[in-house]
Amino acid sequence: MLAHNANTECFDKNRCSPLYISIKKNNPSITKLLLDSKANVNSVNSSHWTPLHSVCSMGSIQLLQLLLSYKANIEAQNKD
């Protein structure tokens, strides 16, 4: 789909992007593929969580390092 310019910035009802969902599913290979396809590493969901917030709550070092290598905003704040 990405080879045919699929939109990486579509959202579900909770404003979760494909990137956010790939992270919640703990899938580093799809996460990297989406990031390579220019998915927004700092997109926010309805709770103002970024993918980085989600990764930190999960404790995945591999995904954390991946997001940081794509310049995830370490100063982003959620609603809490």
For residues 2 and 33, the answer to whether their CB atoms sit within 8 Å is: yes
Q: Is residue 75 in some structural domain?
A: no
List pLDDT tens digits, range 20-77.
989 999 999 999 999 998 999 998 888 888 999 999 999 999 999 999 999 999 988 8
For residues 31 and 65, the answer to whether their CB atoms sit within 8 Å is: no
Residue 2 clears pLDDT 60, i.e. is over it: no
* Residues of the domain holding 60: 10-69
Q: Is residue 79 in some structural domain?
A: no
Q: Is residue 23 in some structural domain?
A: yes
Predicted TM-score (pTM) of the model is: 0.81
Q: Is residue 3 in some structural domain?
A: no
What separation in angstroms does the CA of 80 have from each of 4, 20, 24, 64? 38, 19, 20, 21
How many independent structural domains does the chain possess? 1
Residue 38 is part of a domain; what is its CATH number?
A: 1.25.40.20
Q: Is residue 80 in some structural domain?
A: no
pLDDT of residue 16: 75
pLDDT of residue 4: 47
